[in-house]
Amino acid sequence: MKNNFLRFNDALYLACIWISGASVFIMSLIIPWGIFTRYVLGTGSQWPEPISILLMVVFTFFGAAAAYRANAHIAVAMLTDRLPSSLKRPFASVVDILMTVVAVFMVIYGFKLCGETWGQNIGEIPWMPVGATYLPVPLGGLVTLVFLVEHMLLGSQKDRAVVTFDHEKIEVEAI
């Protein structure tokens, strides 16, 4: 069961990284297009700015979930890393509880926000409901919640061993 949960979280973590990376990549293509149409063609496209903002929201919430799992989120580790070793574990538990509260809040109120705004449309992108633009908030919160459960039950990802396969020989290395 533990290995299945870790494999699922590894796949979810990789998906978060790919989603975040693809969002930044697409933004880097869309923003120059908006600049080109505005300043070179003199017409200005209406859709690049709202799509770029949506992609930034996707990048932010999925990237933050991946950063939390990798224990690379600066806001989470900033305080606990500076504490004496005797206080690190209790304060890390407090951080986990507070992160859980934030993630649950994001999931519950994020889905409420999506539901309440689903019938509205974005002026520049009339086919996209406003509620769809808020979906990264509860989905990112849900992914963060899954990673929080993993962190609380199994410890930090950086402390676990990784199994690699090299010519039918299994090596276990600590991250």
Q: What pLDDT, in 10s, does the model give residues 48-63?
A: 888 999 999 999 999 9
Measured distance CA(52)–CA(43) in Å, rounded = 18
Q: Quick one: pLDDT at residue 76?
A: 62
SS3 of residue 126 by DSSP: coil
47 closest CA partner among 102, 124, 101? 124
Measured distance CA(97)–CA(37) in Å, rounded = 48
The conformational region for residue 127 under phi > 0 = left, psi -120 to 50 = alpha, else beta, is: alpha
Residue whose entry in the numeric block shows the structure tokens 């633009």: 133
Q: Quick one: pLDDT at residue 75?
A: 63
6 closest CA partner among 167, 165, 114, 153? 153
Measured distance CA(170)–CA(7) in Å, rounded = 17
Q: Quick one: pLDDT at residue 85?
A: 86
Q: Quick one: pLDDT at residue 162?
A: 56
Measured distance CA(113)–CA(105) in Å, rounded = 11
Find the radius of gyration of the CA atoms of the chain.
20
In sequence order, the 6+-apart residues with CB closer than 8 A to the CB of 158 are 70, 71, 175
Measured distance CA(79)–CA(40) in Å, rounded = 48
Q: Quick one: pLDDT at residue 170?
A: 45
Reported pTM? 0.82
Block means of pLDDT (10 residues each) for the chain, 175 residues, are 89 96 96 90 86 94 92 72 85 88 96 95 87 95 95 79 51 46
* Model confidence pLDDT, tens digit, residues 117-140: 999 988 888 889 999 999 999 999
Q: Where are the domains of the chain?
A: 2-174
User: In angstroms, how far is the first alpha carbon of the chain from the final one?
Assistant: 22
